Amino acid sequence: MLEDEIRKMWEENPTLKPKIEKVVVNISVGKSGEPLEKASKVLKQLTGQTPCKRKAKKTIRDFGIRKGEPISCIVTLRKQKAIEFLKKVLPVIDNKISKEQFDKYGNFSFGIKEHIEISGVKYDPDIGIFGMDVCVSLSRPGYRVKNRRKRKAEIGVRHILTPQEAMIFVKDNFGVEIV
C-alpha cells in the first residue's frame, strides 16, 4: 500500500493507527558489582525510573560470568515517558533507522554507543561511559485481547501491524528517516 492510503485508512478507522506500547532501555555490563551500579545510576539519571537488574541465564567461563549473577539493568518506559525518551535519544542516531531494524510485527530497536551523546547529559569521570540498547514495541488499540487473563483471543491477521505501517508511523511522529 502507498503511504497516503495508509494514512487515509488511519483517519477513517482510528483503531488501526499504531501507538507506542513501550520502550525498553537495556545496559548490559557483563559483570556485577561496581560497574553494574554505575550503569544503574546512568539509567536512573536518563529515564527517571529505578532500573531492574537482570541475571545471567548460564555460566560462561571465558567471560567470567556465573549463572544467576546480575549482569545488566533494564528500564521499561510507557506512555508519555516513552515518547519523551525517544525524542531525546533519536537525534543521537541522526534520526535515521534502517529498514532491517524493524521486525515483522513493526517493532524496532537500535543501539547507542555512548550515553554522553544524549543531549543534557554530561560526562562524569566517576561513572564512565556506557552504551545501551533501545527497543520500541508498537501496537494498535485492541491488542489487549492477546494479553488479558480472561477470554484470551488471537489478533486478526488484518489487524496485525506491518513493518511498512510502523515505518510510516515513526516517520510522521518522530521525523525519522528510514534508510
Residue 5 reports pLDDT greater than 70: yes
4, three cell numbers: 497516503
3-178: which CATH number, 1.10.340.30, 3.30.70.890, 3.40.50.261, 3.30.1440.10?
Answer: 3.30.1440.10
15-42 average pLDDT score: 89
| Ranges of each domain in the chain | 3-178
Alpha helices by DSSP H, listed for the chain, are 3-12, 34-47, 79-89, 144-147, 163-174
Element (H, E) at 74: strand 70-77
Q: What is the pLDDT of residues 48-99, one digit of tens each?
A: 899 999 888 888 888 888 888 888 999 999 999 999 999 999 999 988 999 9
Q: What pLDDT score does 160 carry?
A: 87
31-43 average pLDDT score: 87
User: Are 71 and 56 contacting, i.e. CB atoms less than 8 angstroms apart?
Assistant: yes
Question: pLDDT category, 15, cuts 50, 70, 90?
Answer: confident
Q: What is the pLDDT of residues 107-150, one digit of tens each?
A: 999 999 988 888 888 888 888 888 899 999 999 988 888 888 99
Q: What is the pLDDT of residues 77-88, one digit of tens each?
A: 999 999 999 999
Residue with cell 525518551: 85
- State pTM to two decimals: 0.87
Q: What pLDDT score does 1 carry?
A: 64
Could you give the angle at the alpha carbon of 25 between the alpha carbons of 23 and 31, nearest 5°?
A: 155
